[in-house]
Structures are given as structure tokens and as C-alpha cells.
Structure 1
């Protein structure tokens, strides 16, 4: 006897077949193209809506709303993206909601959240003009709209037109989406109740995508082309060879842009026209914009410890907003053991480094979702958000702190014979020759600033340059007790050059024991915890540049990225000093030119760089040492 379900299926199949045969035969020469196909079938476990949401100026923005069938009274979690909302909501053409959405969304839609992705104006299927990092309306934007107004208008429409929602909205996203999340906090809609900006683009000159402390980041050319060409610009057509060679052959940033036709792009021209931290850059700095306003939306800021693109933004916003947070419950900071945006993917490892489980999933389930739940759910649980949450690499554990930085700054001094010590040495100096014709590479060659090579370059073993004559390495003895740092190490480099300008790059490194049978790959590994550059012409201030006086000793001061790390007993601490990091940063010609962007071949000359230590010119890296 057949099972009833099998019998029913057989009857349905026979009925359908009979219906097909009973219909008139299909004309052989009928046009076989059809207007559309709805890939979301009746058996799908989700609802997916595509709508065009009107903005106050009449522009309509393409918006996709996705939620599990049966959802009601659900919080809305919004992301505003330049990277195609349609693609973000069709990861696979599946009938399961967790398969069509990004990995990070599963925990939310499984608990009744309504997920919304929207194309920013001018990109994807949205109407309007696209402006990279569109400034806030005001001196740099004479129109009536910006990302703040677009977020406001979008939220207003959503809470009025999504009946399955409870009328409460959170906003999140990484990188550019982190930037749009922050912009939503400027004059926010009353329904916006929480924000989780991840690795946000905040200040493109000071330390995010375009410049770091005045040094231009060349990889931005590829991003510019990809983002601002309607038909899809792709990467700069320089071939697949060594990017070190390609950039060196081209010369300056201007010469490179001319060689590959990039001056057709308005964003490239803008970058080249503003090499210093002028009003154009300062007027777009989101941390400065937010500091002028009262924070009314609880905000959890997030950054990866090895974020290769936007290491500056989240800590800068935290620093700007923390003075307002008198009860220590409105703004929090999270630093995870991640590359850029890795929090939204599996995060069990970074390059050769391995963690205790999937740290991205741990963060999303233990901290991010509870934070959003307590602010967005109708029957909300009590909020218990850590003021500061960091992952201590070295010991591999999550830690909660009440403030940041969470350590006391202690100088680690450079000294004679490549020494590094917590004791101040006698006065002295050491020199090296910096040659722009042979810049220090950022990675072992050949270099390709893309894919996994780009994602993990900050954890590259630094032994590949240790020993170069133009890289000075200072090292402590073997540690007999742990050194735990929690904050942004501060560089104080007393140096002089025979040129009229110079770049200085400092790396803080954890040197592993030479032998490590448990993990041979890490034997002797020189793990960079922070790498940062400073362009010497800005020693007196970032808004205007000035030549350096040859032979004069200057105190160059800047910060390394924020870190929570434990140098373990048996390890050593190293500091490397060099004057180029190529091709990530354009070369400093080391002669005086008004704009390094436009330096000519004759301008690039060798210079002798002298690093001073001890006495009144005691070079050091100040470590935020925690008392465990």
C-alpha cells in the first residue's frame, strides 16, 4: 500500500502532466525570451520586497526588505550601501533566508529582525548623482540632501510602510556602510534607536582610506575607478605584474594618474588637488561633525586590530563622543582580532594567527545582538553593554574595560647597538640612507594589493625586511614576564635628515621565540602589531606643509593603531624604523616640492636619516601598559 503523501504527489504529477499535454502545443518559432522570472518561489521561507523609497528632493532610492515569513513586531536593521543592495540580498538564489543574505544576518533574521539594504543615491538601482563620501550639507554641499537626510527619510518611510515592524530601527555596516551609519547619527530620526558602525570611513586624510598622516595611499586609485565608473571601472589596467614595479615606473601619483587615464575621474582630481589637511578634508571629518552635536542614539563602534583600510575612524569617533557619555552607556568601543570587515565573516584566524573559535560569531551573538536587542525589541532585555570590549591577542580572550586607553603610557626607549629598553639610555644616534629609487616594500615581492595578500598584509612576518640597511631594528632582551598593552602606542621619534622632507615609518613588533615545535610557522615570527607612517613636512601642523631644515633634529609624534596585546614571556619586543612603505604609500622625494603628488623624476634624491636616542632627544614608543 502506498504512503498517502506518495500517492498525493503521484496524483499531482499526473494531473500536471495531463494539463501540459491538454494545452495547445507551443509554437516552435515563438519568442523564447520572457519579461521576468520571480526566483522567490511560494515555498521560500522569507518575504523579499523591492521598493523605491522617495527622498525629500524627489530622488528615489532602491531598497530591499527581507524577513522570515511570519515575522511581526520586528525591529528593522538597516544598511545603506554603495556595493549593490540587490547583490547583498541575493547571495544565493535559495529559498532559505540564511542563504540569500550575508553570513552576519543569520542570527538577526532568525530572531524576527527585518533586514533592509539600500543603494546610496547614484549607485546600484538608486536614482540621483553619486559623490564619494558625500559631505554634509553646508559649505562643501550646497544641496538640501546628504547621507544624513537620506537616512532620515528612509527610516521615516520604513516605519510607516513596513507593517511587520515594531517601529524601531537600528543601523549597521562596515567600511563605507560604517560611514553611512555614522552619518545617520547627525540629526537622527526619532525611530533610530541604535547604531553599530563597523570600521567606518571617518577622516580620509588623517588615517583612513586616502592618506595617513599626510602620506598618500596609492591603492585608492583602484577603488576610485571601480566606484565611480557607471559601466564598472574595475582595477586600473596596469596588468598583473608586480605593483611595486608598476608604481615605481610611473613615478609620482600625478604621473601614475596621467599614465592610466585616471584624471577623467573627478574623485582622483579632488585627491590630487588637496594634498594637505585643508578645509576640504576637515569639513568632511565625521568625528568632528559628531563632536559638535549631542549624541542621542546608543552607538557601538567597532574596528579590527589589523584593519588594513580604516583603522583610524572608530577610535577617533569614540574619542570625540566619549566626553558626552557621562554614564558610560551611550557609546562603546570594540576592537577585535580582525582584518577589515572580517567581523562579518568566519573569523577563526588571520593569516597564520589562530584564535579560540570563531571570534566574529562570538562577537555577533554575545555582544552585538544583545546590544541591538536591548534597544530595538518591543519587550527588550536589560542592557549590559561593555563600555570597551577588546580581544587580547597573545592570550586570546575577550576583555571588558571601563575606559580606553586602558593602560598607563610607559616609554620603551630606542638605544645604542639596536637596543630597546624601558630604561632611558645615554645620548647617541644612528643613521641610514633612504633611497627613493629603492623604497622599502610593504610585502615580499612581487606585490599585489588585492585578495588575501592585501587582507593579511599587516600580519606579514617582518623578517623579510629585518636586516636591510635602510631599516633600523631595535629589540629588547627576552621577556621574563608578560607585557600587556591596551591602547594606541605613541611614537616619539627624534630624527634629522639631510634632505628637505622625509617620511618615517615605525612598526611595533612581537618577536616570537626562534623555536616553536607546537606551531613551527610561528618560530621566530616577527608579528607587526602596529605599522604607521608620518610625512615629515607636517611636523608643524597638518593643515600646511613646510620644508625640513637639513640636519636639524625634529620631534615627530604620531599614534600607532589601537591594540590589545600581550607580549608573552620568552618573546621579545621590536621597533623598526624606515622611511618608505611602498607601494602602499607614495614615495617622498626628500627634496622640497610644493606637492609630492606632482614630484618630477629629478626631485627624488637619496637622503641620510639620523635617529637620535637618549638625553634630550630620547626616541621612544610609549606603550599603554595595563596592570593585570
Structure 2
């Protein structure tokens, strides 16, 4: 039975009086914050919520997870719950979590926030995604049994607080009525055409964001309390011990240049944990299918409102999963109740869209982007967990997406929209497509003559990353849309550009690219970038991807290259919605690196995480009737 947490008597009463709310600090920084504004916010919130801290919920293996519960003071006898699970520090309820707690309580929901096992005051050993198939199920059981609970639970969160929800949804727990996974791609292992294994890879290439993220998160040794310590004692200790490690700052741009990659954490005295194990795994390794990732051989049992972003690391897998569940869930009600909102934002930036000014993403102006995701979230939960159903379905189509370039919201009942027609464009050149100053063309017809473009890829001088779908990189790479002309001036970047468009051309959906290539190396990478070229020459990146040549036949069939032999590379899709305006040009960049966003291939053919020597590769792109390198765009029929 839930125990009411008495907040340390007179000390806490003093901290939360209006008099102290006007002071410059709070005496109990681990309950509220030293920051006055945070103290005021928490004080206002506790005036309308009953607070139950450090409920130590026992899992099936005896491990207890620290869980806080916030109930509306003005509530019916029993209420539904909104559940937020996280690996991050929630000792002081603040920031996004506090806002969600307020949103829940203000709308008649209990708010339950829990730390994953092995994180802060939760017992046990941490595992990425927090054991969703067991700990998630056991916590839903616990919530449903509480005296205040009406046995209905909705899950919500962004990034790490969303990713674990996917494997939980596969369990089809009877209390799990609805979910809102935002920026949840790192919870997807394999789905359809994507096998990124939680965004560890893209096209078989390691995305360095996981090194910077794990450095700040993984901890192999940290203070622990006795397993039999009471809830009361743990509550008392939360005032004194935050248990939040503060890692030394690292120059990741410098560190990612060191070799071998597998020893990055050894070099910087980083905490031990999953990094070294994960670094040497390739995309087909069986251990990827043993943890908390969701894979498309599983069912999916929960209606979902997906919140995604065009410039997020996981936009492709997220939309692929939306379609997968919509088409394949065994429960018809689940299939028919998948909804998605796609904004022109960076990772988890739905709540940082300016209300009264234009949204700039990188360097590109998206205009006024009006979006109230909190209203949609509450409408969604009200529809599924309250007897008086909301107007969510009247107010929302299956997919609401922002079209860049035109800078407007659009809606569709399918993804991509039914009116999409696919048009293929072909890469060609007369002399050389090397750099912005070459003669590379993007045309609607197959080149009549055979030609090829060559470039030298030197892993010690890789093409730098600038913009794109970036998350959590510790300052390594900038996310969003930037003018690419400085990148395109390099001789190791091939540039193919269309003629000026005679009319507005909307590209919405999945973009599929195929290159015919050869290399002097046993293995190398190839990149594709889609660019919107303005009449004044500015060239804004729309989306990009990368593919490792040895995975050209599938991630479970690695095969090295033979020198000079021509191969076809089929990229995993790019995903976007962008209007190329009349007078603009469509451009495709081709190269072999985008570093440090993607780890550079050292071209030796060995496990790239273990390699310490690099080989320069002479790479060739072919365009001819026999080898028609191409990109296929989803054009919305006017």
C-alpha cells in the first residue's frame, strides 16, 4: 500500500513556505532546486499534488526500483496514471519532468516517475532501456493494484523515456491503454528496411553519438545502499546524497580521431560499461536481439501517438515503425489507432518551438511553427482513459507533418500521402562532378553515354559533418539545416544538381538511392545527401544517409569488395517533407564520409572498431545505361 511521504517536518515546511519561495535559495536542493524559479515552480506544484516519494517497488527478481507518485489533491476516488520511466536523475523533480507532472495532475491523472534499475536510488545493475519486458510489466502490475488507481496507465516520454516503451508495448499489458513515444528511434532494433540497432548504426556505420552519450551515463562503480534499507531511510538520504556523477569534460572532436575506437573510454578513464562490447558488435550480432530493443518480429499491443522530427537521428526507423504497426499489429484496434506528428525540429525539441517568432533549425528559417503537443498528448490520453472521450480523432488525421520550404502543416491518412508518385533522377557528368565547381547533373533520363566520377577518400582527412539528423553528440556535430557550399567545395565530394525547377515540387515520403560503385579498398563507405539549392546559391541539407559497402547484400551477409569490381549499393531510405520552390534546384551530394557524426571507415576490411591503420581508397561512381546511379523521389501530385 502506498505510504504518504512526510517531507522532513519543519525543515521542509520552512523550505516550501511563501516566505522562502521569495528567497534566493532553497535549503533542500535535492527536493527542489537552489534556483529560485525551480523552487517556486515545485512549491506551486506541491500545492496541488499529494507527493509520495521513493516508493521502492519490488520487481520479480527482488530488485527494488525507486518510484515517485504525484496525485491530484482534487481527485475522484480512483484515477488513471501517466507513467514516465527514465535513466536520468529525478531526485529533484524539475524541467521537462516537472512540466509533465503538472500537465498530468492538472488534467486529473496520477503522475508516476521511476528510475531504471541501477540508476540513482533504484537497485540492481543498469542495462540500456531498463528491462522493459520485465521491469516495465512489473511496474504496470504495481500501479494497477494501488488503491488510487483505476487500472489504466498511459506511458509518455521523449528519447530515453520513450525508447523503452516499444518493447513494453509488445507485451500487451492489460493496464497499458495508450502511449506517447517521442523521438523513440533508439528503442528500435530492426524494422523493415532499417537495422540500426537502437541508432547505434546507420547503414552499418557507427553513429558516434552513442560514445558521448554513454560516457555521461554508464557507471560501473557508484555508491549503493544496503538492499534491505527502508523507504523512510532512503527518503532521508535523498536530501543528502544526489548520486549524480559529474564526468570530466572531454574534447570529443579530438577524442574521436584517436584509434582504435574500442579504446576511447580507456583513453579518457571513462566508466566501464556496455561501450566496448557494443563497439565491436556488427549490426547482425545476435546479442542485439537479447536486450530491450523492439524488433519487427514482435507484435505491438498499444495505440500510440508518435512524436517525430525531420532533423532527429531516428526519423527513418520511426516512420517505418509507424507503418509497420499500422499494417501488422494483430489487434485491429491497435492497427487503426496509430497516429504521428512530425515537426521540423531537432531531437526532443517539440517543447522549444517559439510561440511568437520564426523557428530557425540550424540556419534555415521554418517560419512560424505553431504546435501545442501538450494539448494533443492530453487529448490522446483522455480519449483512451476517460469515460468522456475527447475530440482527439475529430481534431487529428493519422499523420500531421510539417512541409519545409512551403513552411506549413499538412495532414494525411497514410504515410506517405496517397497522392505521391515516384520519380527517378539519374546522376551524370561530362567531365567531372568533383565539387561544387564540377559539371555533375541530376536529370530525369538515364545517361546515354557511359561515364564515371572518381574521388579519393582519405580517412585521415574525412569530409566534415555539418547539419543533419543529429542527437546527443556532446558538441561533435551540429544538427539541422545549414548552407553546404563549404562542404561541396571539397574535391572528395561529388555534386549533382538539377536544372532550375519550373514549378514548386513537393517531396514527401521515403527517398531511395542506388549507386553503382567500385573501390580500390576492401571496404569503404558511401554517403548520399539531398540538398535544396536556393536561387542565390545557398544549399540547405534536407536529409542524408550512409552505407557500408560490405553490407551491400544485407546486414547478415557482410562481404568485402574486390578491387575495381562494380557493385550496387542500395541505401536505407531518407525520409522528409520538403517543397523545392520554383527556381530552386534539387541537388545530391555523394562522398564516403561525414565525420564525426558517422565514424570514418578506415577501409581495411577488418572490424572498424579495432582498426588502427587506415588505407586511402580511390572510389568510383558509375553512371551509364548499364550502371544508372540514381535517386528516387516521392513527388506529391499537384
The whole-number CA distance in structure 2 between the counterparts of 1:235 and 1:525 is: 39
Residue 609 of structure 1 corresponds to 619
Residue 227 of structure 2 corresponds to none
Higher mean displacement: 169-178 or 42-51: 42-51
Residue 123 of structure 1 corresponds to 119
> Would you say 1:311 and 2:301 are equivalent positions?
no
> Would you say 1:47 and 2:50 are equivalent positions?
yes
Distance 1:41 1:198, change over 3 A: closer
The whole-number CA distance in structure 1 between the counterparts of 2:153 and 2:426 is: 49
2:409 corresponds to which of 398, 407, 418: 398
Gaps of 5+ in 1: 1-15, 17-32, 92-99, 135-145, 515-523
1:572 corresponds to which of 571, 580, 585: 585
**1:26-41 to 2 correspondence within 5 Å?**
none
Distance 1:356 1:600, change over 3 A: closer
1:545 corresponds to which of 558, 582, 603: 558
SS at match of 2:214: helix
**1:147-546 to 2 correspondence within 5 Å?**
147-161=132-146, 163=148, 165-200=149-184, 201-203=186-188, 206=196, 208-229=198-219, 230-231=221-222, 238-239=250-251, 243-248=252-257, 250-262=258-270, 265-284=272-291, 286-288=293-295, 291-293=297-299, 295-308=300-313, 310-324=314-328, 329-346=336-353, 348-359=359-370, 361-365=371-375, 367-381=376-390, 383-384=392-393, 385-406=396-417, 407-416=420-429, 417-426=439-448, 427-443=450-466, 450=473, 454=477, 456-514=478-536, 524-546=537-559
Distance 1:411 1:41, change over 3 A: closer
Q: TM-score, normalised by structure 1?
A: 0.80
SS at match of 1:272: helix
Q: Is the 8 A contact 2:107 2:378 kept in 1?
A: no
Q: Give the aligned CA root-mean-square deviation in angstroms.
A: 3.0
SS at match of 2:488: coil
Distance 1:44 1:368, change over 3 A: closer
The whole-number CA distance in structure 1 between the counterparts of 2:317 and 2:307 is: 9
Q: Is the 8 A contact 1:90 1:101 kept in 2?
A: yes
Residue 70 of structure 1 corresponds to 74
SS at match of 1:569: coil
After TM superposition, give the deviation of residue 155 of structure 1 in Å.
2.0
Gaps of 5+ in 2: 1-13, 15-26, 33-38, 190-194, 223-243, 430-438
The whole-number CA distance in structure 2 between the counterparts of 1:590 and 1:37 is: 52
Residue 90 of structure 2 corresponds to 85
Q: Deviations over 1:309-333 (max 9, x none)?
A: x334422322332223667622233
The whole-number CA distance in structure 2 between the counterparts of 1:220 and 1:383 is: 36
Q: TM-score, normalised by structure 2?
A: 0.79
SS at match of 2:456: strand
SS at match of 1:465: helix
Count of matched residue pairs: 551
After TM superposition, give the deviation of residue 105 of structure 1 in Å.
5.5
Q: Is the 8 A contact 1:225 1:265 kept in 2?
A: no
After TM superposition, give the deviation of residue 225 of structure 1 in Å.
2.1
The whole-number CA distance in structure 1 between the counterparts of 2:474 and 2:199 is: 17
Q: Is the 8 A contact 1:490 1:623 kept in 2?
A: yes
Q: Is the 8 A contact 2:48 2:73 kept in 1?
A: yes
SS at match of 1:559: coil
> Would you say 1:600 and 2:624 are equivalent positions?
no
SS at match of 2:345: coil
After TM superposition, give the deviation of residue 235 of structure 1 in Å.
5.4
Distance 1:46 1:222, change over 3 A: same
The whole-number CA distance in structure 2 between the counterparts of 1:64 and 1:606 is: 55
SS at match of 1:408: strand
Q: Deviations over 1:179-224 (max 9, x none)?
A: 2111221223212110111111134662643221211122322222
Largest Rg, 1 or 2: 1
